[in-house]
Amino acid sequence: MEKLSQIQTPFIQSQSMPKLKQDEKMVDFGQVFKQSLEKVNAAQQESDLLTDKLVRGEVKDVHEVMIAAQKASLSLQLTLQVRNKVVEAYQEVMRMQV
């Protein structure tokens, strides 16, 4: 009989955490999420500002207002989807039996 050798998975074995240089720091998920929320909030505020300017007649190009509104809307939708996935993952972990 032949002796079985260990199964090699080169793709998985070659994947590892990249080494950080001395000037790079690890950023945790909470900080990244907070920064993303701040960007979404800024996009919402910019959209509101441009909409107000449009109502007052200060904006000549309606396209700018529509683009800002769409950016804000898409940013919010993406944020909500990420939040939903995080909540689902948390619930799944809490259902695991130890």
- What's residue 10's pLDDT? 52
Percent of the chain as helix, strand, coil, to the nearest 5: 70, 0, 30
Sorted by sequence, the CB contacts under 8 Å of residue 75 that are 6+ apart come out as: 39, 40, 43, 44
- What average pLDDT does the structure give for the chain? 82
- CB hemisphere CA count around 54 (13 angstroms): 15
- Mean pLDDT lowest among 5-9, 25-29, 35-39: 5-9
When pLDDT is averaged across residues 7-27 and rounded to a whole number, the result is 57
Q: Is 2 left (phi over 0), alpha (psi -120 to 50) or beta?
A: beta
What's the pTM? 0.64
pLDDT tens, residue by residue, 33-57:
889 899 999 999 999 999 999 999 9
